[in-house]
Amino acid sequence: MYLVVNIIGVFVFLAIGFLCSKDRQAIKWRSISIMLVINLVIAWFLTSFSVGRTLVGGASNLFNGLVQVAYQGIAFALPDWVAAKPMNFVTSALLPILMIIPLFDILTYIGVLPWIIKWIGKGLSVVTGQPKFESFFAVEMMFLGNTEALAISSLQLKQMKPARDLTLAMMSMSCVTASIIGSYTSLMPGQFVLTAIPINIMNAILITNMLNPVSVTPAEDIIVKLTDQDARAEDIGSGSEAFAQEVTREDQTTGKEPFFSFLGDSIINAGKLILIITANVIAFVALAALVDKLLGLVNPWLSLEHILGIVMFPFAWLLGLDNGTAFQFAQYMGTKLVTNEFVVMGKVTEIVNTFAPHYKAVLTVFLTSFANFSTIGMIIGCFKGLVNREKNELIARNVGYLLLSGILVSLLSAAIVGLFVW
Residues 60-70: tens digit of each pLDDT: 788 778 888 88
The pLDDT of residue 85 is above 80: no
The pLDDT of residue 50 is above 80: yes
Residue 148's pLDDT is 67
Q: Mean of the pLDDT values across residues 181-197? A: 86
Coil, strand or helix at 234? strand
Range in 74-78, 312-316, 387-391, 415-419 the model is least confident about: 387-391
Contact criterion met (CB below 8 Å) for 335 and 343: yes
How far, in Å, CA of 403 to CA of 173, rounded? Answer: 7
Burial of 36 (0-12, 13-18, 19+ CB in 10 A): middle
Mean pLDDT of the chain: 82
Residues 242-275: tens digit of each pLDDT: 444 444 444 444 467 888 898 898 888 888 878 8
Q: 111: left (phi > 0), else alpha (psi -120 to 50), else beta?
A: left
Residue 180's pLDDT is 74
Choice between 376 and 81, residue whose per-residue pLDDT is larger = 81
Coil, strand or helix at 53? helix
The pLDDT of residue 141 is above 50: yes
How far, in Å, CA of 203 to CA of 20, rounded? Answer: 16
Sequence-distant (≥ 6) Cβ neighbours of residue 306 within 8 angstroms: 331
How far, in Å, CA of 5 to CA of 362, rounded? Answer: 14
Range in 7-21, 167-181, 359-373 the model is least confident about: 167-181
Residue 321's pLDDT is 93
Concatenating the DSSP letter of every residue in 332-350 gives HHHHHHHS-HHHHHHHHTT
The pLDDT of residue 396 is above 60: yes
How many of the other CB atoms lie within 10 Å of CB of 8? 13
Residue 365's pLDDT is 94
Task: Tell me which residue of 364, 349, 367, 342 sits closest to 421, measured CA to CA.
Answer: 364
Residues 236-249: tens digit of each pLDDT: 333 444 444 444 44
Residue 20's pLDDT is 94
The pLDDT of residue 113 is above 80: no
In which domain, by residue range, is 396 found?
Answer: 2-418
Q: For residue 414, what pLDDT band results from cuts at 50, 70 and 90?
A: very high
Task: Tell me which residue of 62, 37, 379, 21 sits closest to 191, measured CA to CA.
Answer: 62
The pLDDT of residue 327 is above 70: yes
Task: Tell me which residue of 91, 221, 198, 71 sits closest to 142, measured CA to CA.
Answer: 198
How many of the other CB atoms lie within 10 Å of CB of 122? 16
Task: Tell me which residue of 173, 211, 209 sits closest to 382, measured CA to CA.
Answer: 173
Residue 39's pLDDT is 93
Q: Which helix (H) or strand (E) holds 305?
A: helix 304-317
Share of the chain above pLDDT 70, in %: 89
Q: Mean of the pLDDT values across residues 275-303? A: 82
Residue 152's pLDDT is 66
Residue 179's pLDDT is 66
Contact criterion met (CB below 8 Å) for 240 and 113: yes
Residues 336-372: tens digit of each pLDDT: 888 788 889 988 998 999 999 999 999 999 999 888 8
Cis peptide before 96 (omega within 30 of 0): no
Say how many domains are in the chain: 1
Residue 223's pLDDT is 67
Per 3-state DSSP, what percentage of the chain is helix, strand, and coil (rounded to 5)? 80, 0, 20
